[in-house]
Amino acid sequence: MDAQSEIKEQPRFEDDCINLVVKDQHANEVRFKVNRHKTKMEKVFNAFYHKTGRDPGSLRFLFEGTRVNPQATPEQFGMDDGDTIDAVEEQVGGTML
């Protein structure tokens, strides 16, 4: 096997990257380019908090109605290029009447 064919067989980094959109209820929308296999969603969430000036932990992140585990990768949720993650206000409390 020559060096040229070895290069062609190696996976390309660009193929591993996808663009994700995180959108909140106030129409704030932030786009991220992430590695679908390696990037933990926690990194995306923290960047969203920072870019929007929100307090960490104040939001829930949902993909297709399912809460996203911060330790998961986009691949584990079946996310594809251009998918949107919804960021909704964390609601705590309530009483039983």
Element (H, E) at 44: helix 41-52
Integer angstrom CA distances of residue 97 from 45, 94: 35, 10
Which distant-in-sequence residues (6+ apart) come within 8 Å of 87 by Cβ? 22, 23, 24, 25, 48, 59, 60, 61, 62
pLDDT in tens, 14-32: 579 999 999 999 888 999 9
* Fold of the CATH domain 13-89: Ubiquitin-like (UB roll) (3.10.20)
Listed by start position, the domains of the chain span: 13-89
pTM score, two decimals? 0.78
Measured distance CA(3)–CA(85) in Å, rounded: 41
Most confident of 3-7, 12-16, 73-77, 86-90: 73-77
pLDDT in tens, 38-67: 999 999 999 999 999 999 989 999 999 999
Measured distance CA(67)–CA(44) in Å, rounded: 14
For residue 68, the cross-strand partners are: none
